[in-house]
Amino acid sequence: MRLRIGLLWKVCIVGQDRRNVFVAGGLVFAPLMAGAKLVLPGPHLDGSSIYDLMMSQRVTCTAGVPTVWMNLLDHLRQNKLRLEHLQRLVVGAQLVCVHVAHCWVYDHNMIKVDPHLQAAQQRQRR
């Protein structure tokens, strides 16, 4: 799958440790090579911190592990929030559970585009 990251993209890569950040075959370097902005969260990986970071930086593409997305989904659901700028979500390192995938697909307008990478891309609004 091609992410097609461009110059105007803002990419957030979230990992629970250094190994998870680099697992996606050099995904951390893709935004830099494309001229996009790279956003890294630091040590705060709870749902509210990730949400605040993604909203303040207007992140358009993000990649991370399922546990981070479960925490973010819980925060979004509890506070009835949406990620308005997010267009692509990539879940790597582990398979995502059906419930989490279902929540991203139906609650946040994401569609899976590649079953091997467990990726999701925002639906085009017509």
Question: Cα–Cα distances in Å, from 119 out to 44, 56, 77, 107?
Answer: 23, 23, 21, 16
Domain assignment present for 4: no
Q: Does 125 have pLDDT greater than 80? A: no
> pTM (2 decimals)?
0.78
Domain assignment present for 2: no
DSSP H/E element including 30: helix 30-34
Express each pLDDT in 47-84 by its tens digit. 999 999 999 999 988 888 778 888 899 999 999 999 88
Contact of 71 with 41, CB cutoff 8 Å: no
One-letter identity of residue 5: I
Residues 6 or more apart from 73 whose CB is under 8 A from it? 47, 100, 103, 104, 107
Name the residue with higher pLDDT: 74 or 125.
Answer: 74
Domain assignment present for 44: yes
Domain that holds residue 55: 10-122
Instruction: Kindly report the CATH number assigned to the domain that includes residue 46.
Output: 3.40.50.980
Domain assignment present for 116: yes
Give the number of domains in the chain.
1
